[in-house]
Amino acid sequence: MLKKTDSPPIELDLGNGHICIVDADAWPALSKFKWRAVQARRNWYAKASFTKKGIRITISMHRFIARTRLPFICHHKNHISLDNRRSNLENMNKTSHNSYHHMNTLMIKFEQKTG
């Protein structure tokens, strides 16, 4: 479970017209990296890269904030991939995450047919 915060959200400019939302109290840890927007499939994510012991490492902001460890997935509750406030992030196992999105897809298809 993520720690809730009363910290107001701030907007981070990722360049190329992309803005990321984070809790203000997350900024001290985030400021150590240079964040950019990277597209993955249909969504954009905030990512940073650095070199450690000669190895290039890329991290995702939402996984960094939520402290998501493998094999877990960090899910954006509101489906906005650049909204990285703690209240919007949830660590889930792969099965739960896939089930959630499968049910969501079925609901959308049902609403389109009955709408």
pLDDT tens digits, 41-82: 999 999 999 999 999 999 999 999 999 999 999 999 999 999
Q: Are 82 and 19 in contact (CB under 8 A)?
A: yes
For residue 38, how far is the Cα from the chain centroid? 12
Q: What is the pLDDT of residue 103?
A: 59
Does 48 fall in a domain?
Answer: yes
Does 85 fall in a domain?
Answer: yes
Does 4 fall in a domain?
Answer: no
Does 20 fall in a domain?
Answer: yes
Higher pLDDT, 112 or 109: 112
Structural domain harbouring 46: 9-114
- CB count within 10 Å of CB 3 equals 8
Does 47 fall in a domain?
Answer: yes
Does 3 fall in a domain?
Answer: no
CATH number (domain holding residue 30): 3.90.75
Cα torsion 32, 3, 101, 19: sign: negative
Q: How many domains does the chain have?
A: 1
Does 2 fall in a domain?
Answer: no
Report the range of poorest mean pLDDT among 16-30, 63-77, 86-100.
86-100
